[in-house]
Amino acid sequence: MLSLNSVRLAPGVRSAVAVAVSWVLLPGAEVHAAEVPALPELQTVFVSASRMPQLLKSAPIGASVITSEQIARSGVSDANEAIRRLGGVPGKTDLAGGREYTLDLRGYGDTASANTVVMVDGIRVSENELVTARLSSIPVDEIDRIEIVRGGASVMWGEGATGGVINVIRKRQASAGNRARLEGSVASFRGKEVVASAAHQSGILVVDGAAKSIRSDGYRDRNRFEQDVRGFGLQWTTEAWSQRLRVQQESQFAQLPGTLTFAQWRSNPRQAGKPSDFGGTDETRLSSHTEFRFKAWTAQLDLSSRSRDTDSTYSGATYERSVLSQQATPKLSHEVKWSGLTTNTIVGFDLQRWTLDAHSPGWDDHGWQSNKAFFAHSDWAFDTLTRLAFGWRTERVNKKQRADSTAYDRRDSLKAAELGVSQELAKDWAVYGRWAQSYRLPNFDENGSTPGGQPLRPQRGRDQELGLRWSAGANAFSARYFRQDNVDEIMFVPFTFFNENVDPTRRQGVEVEGRWSMSSALEWRLSWQRLSAKYRSGPNAGREQVLVAPQTATVRLAYRISERQTIDAGIQYLGSMRFGDDVANQCDRKIPESALLDARYAWSDKTWTVAVSGTNLADQDSYNYAYKCATGGLYPEPGRAFKLTLARQF
């Protein structure tokens, strides 16, 4: 689905990173534990996959959590980067030249964004177009944690949650008083970044605000990127009531250097293939969360509104697009404790409206969509250390589109269900099994280019998953096997240049995650995925799906040198995969594998932080998105880059 909506520093700085990383890896490097505060132990972790907190250790889901401590220690710039580097989620290059990499849960390749629901504080920000959800606008200082739930989750989150769910949860002011932070960075490719945030709590009222500004010339020629973000939040909390309001505005401009042929890439990977293309976006988000608690009952209401205007130029033609998305979700949950049993049940409605107005040379496009859904989910915890979770959803969708060559008014009635059970085997061990039924709808861009101009059928999937978990103190390990069968999967077919419902598909594989504290100062983290994504029947039966890496892995090291000095380093591996046009698996050439190294050294006290970080430290020439296996059509990944950061905590 082709769509474009979407520093090199002084040698001394390079040497500082190289020396710091190599020193840590030397066999003789030792630090006495008595001199160094221990890394934080694994805490009791909750996830919100069922729209209410549940203990991750015994939840019958494949989930992982990225904490604010990990984010701060790694020096990542935004939530999107944290999910890729710390969560081990494969990402495809942002075709708009920015930071919104396409995040791929469970091997969906080019349609990964359409098969993953992305939320901020439980409010959906995923788009109903071929556009990646915007996560780079959230300052990392505001993030409390990021939850990554893999596998079909349509019961709670509706259409598009076939591959999984990503939920970014902001921090809450923990104590009365004021806090503020100011951070400035200079980076390779003439990069500059300034981030400021502040919060004040007085009694039941909390006020916070944040601003972020980024400027960069980019790795490639004609690759300038600019982003400005402003946000404001208001919260008040009593014993029974809680109310949160937030408004955020973002402006972004990016030059679009386009694709390169193999010859161009070998000659100079930094050159521009299309030097005159660019795109600009203005987006405003408004959200509200209301909560009332009375004994065992909790009532909640989520409201949100997002408006986005884009203005872009491709090959000399100008395109304009305006989108408005509105959502209301009332929910009611109840917790009750019986003899030997604790139950948590939630019921609610999802009401959504979405409109589109698009204009381009000789083409006007108007779209409307309304969703009305009822969902229910229940979690039962027995004294036998058994947990049972089950849920159901029914949703009615009305989608209309009026364009020069497309006109339809389609109504669909969709259902989702899930059942999971977990059992603690011993003190630190638990096993779980899960079955789920999910779905996704074709978005407006996909329906705008179909055979005969007819809207596509909904995609439907069934998941089966079996997992094993172990956790003891600061150490943890999980492994899971999954299989997902889809019918009417929605894809772009290169040979027809249409989006189509393709033959039945299957994804299956193994995911492993682990955390080991080698000492009070040294911690290792590992994530590894091996999967197969193939057609189950039809002319392409047994063939691999395109733009899906069969193997990915991430290894990270966190080392506390002393009370004030830390190092965080990691390597992310992405296996070779089929080019986007190699549906028949006939090309001898594949997108090559890559292994990108990053590292960060930081010195900090209670007030100041000074850090130097680097990405792609081996300066590997690589690309992870390409469509033409014969001639090229590839988007290069940035080469080696460094960043120097100074931050002040008030």
Round the average pLDDT of the chain to a whole number and report it.
Answer: 88
pLDDT given at position 4: 34
Residues in CB range of 391: below 8 A, 6 or more apart: 50, 155, 156, 375, 376, 377, 378, 417, 418
pLDDT given at position 30: 40
Q: Are 247 and 283 in contact (CB under 8 A)?
A: no
Burial of 536 (0-12, 13-18, 19+ CB in 10 A): middle
pLDDT for 27 beyond 60 = no
How many alpha carbons fall within 13 Å on the CB side of residue 208? Answer: 26
pLDDT for 20 beyond 50 = no
Q: What gap in Å lies between CA 239 and CA 149, rounded to an integer?
A: 31
Type of residue numbered 365: D
Closest C-alpha among 546, 634, 532 to residue 585: 546
Rounded to an integer, the average pLDDT of 443-461 is: 90
Type of residue numbered 286: L
Element (H, E) at 28: none
Rounded to an integer, the average pLDDT of 401-428 is: 90
pLDDT given at position 55: 64
Report the CATH architecture of 11-173+217-649: Beta Barrel (2.40)
Confidence category of residue 22, pLDDT binned at 50, 70, 90? very low
Main-chain phi, psi angles of 250, to 5 degrees: -135, 140
pLDDT given at position 52: 65
Q: What gap in Å lies between CA 331 and CA 338, rounded to an integer?
A: 23
Confidence category of residue 480, pLDDT binned at 50, 70, 90? very high
Rounded to an integer, the average pLDDT of 290-314 is: 94
pLDDT given at position 177: 82
Q: Are 330 and 301 in contact (CB under 8 A)?
A: yes
CA pseudo-torsion sign 21, 22, 23, 29: positive
Q: What gap in Å lies between CA 412 and CA 432, rounded to an integer?
A: 33
DSSP state of 44: P
Q: What gap in Å lies between CA 309 and CA 141, rounded to an integer?
A: 27
Is 489 or 45 the better-scoring residue by pLDDT? 489
Q: Are 438 and 154 in contact (CB under 8 A)?
A: yes
Task: Check: pTM over 0.95? Answer yes or no.
Answer: no
Strand partners, 294: 297
Question: What is the DSSP track for 85-143?
Answer: HTT---EE--TTSSS-PEE-SSS-GGGTGGGEEEEETTEE---SSS-----TTSBGGGE
DSSP state of 577: B
pLDDT given at position 407: 85
pLDDT for 43 beyond 90 = no
Q: DSSP 3-state assignment of 461?
A: strand
pLDDT for 198 beyond 90 = yes
Rounded to an integer, the average pLDDT of 339-363 is: 92
| Per-domain boundaries in the chain | 11-173+217-649
pLDDT given at position 452: 84
Rounded to an integer, the average pLDDT of 212-223 is: 94
